[in-house]
Amino acid sequence: MTHLLTLPTLLLALAACVASTTVSAHGDVTPQAVDTTGLPALGKEWRAENPFRANEPAVKIGTSAYNQNCARCHGLEAISGGIAPDLRKLDNECATQKDAAKKAACVKEIDEFFLTTVRQGRTRNGAVYMPPFEGVMNQEAIWAIKAYLETRRDKPL
Ligand code: HEC
């Protein structure tokens, strides 16, 4: 008799368990949309360079967008735990550049590299190391994340 009574409870518990496993597995890989209300609209054309450098509202939005979409792999506050590259070091090579024009060119090159990587993600030998974010985040959100990362630089420019 006790068995008959506990069976539905057991099934419910099992169902809840399966559901939560599914939710967390997907929650870990599904990129999150980012609300960029308040930032200047950048239009459809992708910019070659970050239009939001040192833009305070962009840094703020970029901080939460980073936490939602990037931190689980690249680490909280951009401090990598080792599973993905440390994004504070992204433009380290530009910091040591003395020539102002060369430094500016270096920063722009890193911007392009950053944009391409975030839009396309990273797949190697069929394995997704990083999901693509194009179509999930608009370019305002992507540049806002870059603006945030620029406040976390390992070697300030
Ligand atoms: C599922 C884990 C994961 C998520 C989420 C993720 N990344 Fe990555 N990312 C990686 C890995 C792993 C690499 C290195 C890939 C490789 O070795 O080819 C990488 C590489 C990069 C690179 C190139 C770094 C370099 O030095 O080569 C950039 C830039 C980058 N990610 C930015 C981001 C941003 C911004 C976000 C959030 C919008 C993000 N990533 C979300 C795992 C992730």
Q: Is the pLDDT of residue 7 over 90?
A: no
Q: Is the pLDDT of residue 13 over 90?
A: no
pLDDT tens per residue, range 44-86: 999 999 999 999 999 999 999 999 999 999 999 999 999 999 9
How big is the CA angle at 113 (ends 108 and 117), to the nearest 5 degrees? 145
What are the DSSP calls for 64-83, one per residue? HHHHHHTHHHH-GGG---SS
Token pair of 122, please?
Answer: 């990273």
Nearest-atom number in ligand 1 for the CA of 90 is 26
pLDDT tens per residue, range 105-133: 999 999 999 999 999 999 999 999 999 99
Which residue segments constitute the domains of the chain, with CATH numbers given? 52-157 (1.10.760.10)
Q: Is 34 in the pocket of ligand 1 (CB under 6 A)?
A: no
Q: List all residues 6 or more positions away from 135 whose beta carbon is below 8 Å from its beta carbon.
A: none
- Which residue from 70, 90, 128, 145 has its CB within 8 A of the most atoms of ligand 1, so it is best to mutate? 70
Nearest-atom number in ligand 1 for the CA of 124 is 18
- Which residue from 34, 115, 130, 140 has its CB within 8 A of the most atoms of ligand 1, so it is best to mutate? 130
